[in-house]
Structure 1
């Protein structure tokens, strides 16, 4: 589904990735874990074509087997949820219009957006799916952070994408909202659905995620099955502090050892 091969990428004048390689197959559920500044958000911006890698021989970034991607087709295959998108949203947009905007690849409501009855029906269904059915006409600015994040999840699902990509999905949420978001993500994880989340909190890694990639300063320092990668030693090295990791029913927790 996604293939980075010897990719180099910059954010403004800072080189974030160099000779970076990572393959993620169709239907895989992957968590990319690392401290702030590790390169997680840059990775997602490359996938979403908000950012482009340096063009050079022997380097490529392929999505669904293609180096050249039609952005409209990409939006139909991958749903994105990020804090940047949340912050960019027009504050006076009604909740139903936030979801509908996903059909048009827009941020906010615009005059050219004339949704069909079928699209409106699907948007209302998705509001119910993310437990926001009572807020159809509530302005975006009046919603809590957790409600905004659920609304963006509904927006990401309008095209019934093959994959969801989420940048720190529970960041900034209180305990109840965080657990609610993680429950919704678990509901998405069917056999054919792929999911990629970036986070620096291991308690955001839902049990359905099978593979974990540890990222530090633009380099992969570990990549493999969750039960092998999420070790006390590996995470202590990653975060430069002594940590103790435990697992129960597929959920992982850590604390200072």
Structure 2
């Protein structure tokens, strides 16, 4: 994916970048910095300035069903208003023309539901799920849309604060799925507030402030106390513990 002076008037200053295959990129910044706006613009769901190229083609040139094969987007909030069973909801996110009974599809649904601890919830209706269960269902569905085993066209996954309502074990499962997706040559862009998670997991960081990407680069270069203190308005330290760096 290539971003050329991509922006949204009065909300996001023009920004250019190239997203290489296999990278995990984290968007960090204070509330209102523009992270969700940038993700929605990259997803093609928010009009604005500049050009977003995906697989060498401008987003407006894709038809909706075609774009859905190349990228998947998880918004920050989405109420569970439907009364359909969980399995039916997942089936709606399969790539167009994919049969739910195919062995590879069955295996992929089983794998994702096992990782996100949803197997026992498959017969349940969406409106009866807890907040954490619904978030895991949303994650399973969005991964299913672009999972490499059943969608060879997939390129990128856009996640806006995907760890909301997840416990520690579920966050670890999400990390594993993101890592495996990237290892298959795909890219993931994640909006997050967990600075230590970004320091330890991200390949690149895009740091936003007041609707502008102020710094982009490798995680260890961007996640410096002086930089973070200026953006968030509090003092930070970076310490090494058990062979890992931590932001304090």
The TM-score normalised by the length of structure 1 is 0.79
User: How far is the alpha carbon of 1:129 from its aligned partner?
Assistant: 4.0
Contact 1:146 1:181 in 2 (8 A): no
The alpha carbon displacement at 1:42 in A equals 0.8
> Alpha carbon RMSD of aligned pairs, Å?
2.8
Greater relative contact order structure (CA < 8 Å, 6+ sep): 2
Pairwise mapping of residues 1-257 of structure 1 onto structure 2 (< 5 A)? 1=1, 3-10=2-9, 15-54=10-49, 59-67=50-58, 68-84=61-77, 86-87=78-79, 89-103=80-94, 116-118=100-102, 121=106, 122-158=108-144, 159-160=146-147, 161-205=154-198, 207-246=200-239, 253-255=246-248
The answer to which of 211-220 and 19-28 deviates more is: 19-28
Determine the C-alpha separation between the residues in 1 that align with 2:227 and 2:52.
Answer: 28
Distance 2:247 2:241 in 1: 12
Contact 1:182 1:206 in 2 (8 A): no
Between the aligned partners of 2:85 and 2:240, the Cα distance in structure 1 is 41
Closer, same or farther in 2 for the Cα pair 1:196/1:71, shift >3 Å?
Answer: same
Unaligned runs of 5+ in 1: 106-112
Q: Unaligned stretches of 5+ in structure 2?
A: 148-153
The alignment of Structure 1 onto Structure 2 pairs a total of residues equal to 237
**SS where residue 221 of structure 1 aligns?**
strand
In 1, the alpha carbon distance for the partners of 2:47 and 2:82 equals 29
Distance 1:49 1:142, change over 3 A: same
- Give the 3 Å change call, closer, same or farther, for CA 91–219 of structure 1 in structure 2: same
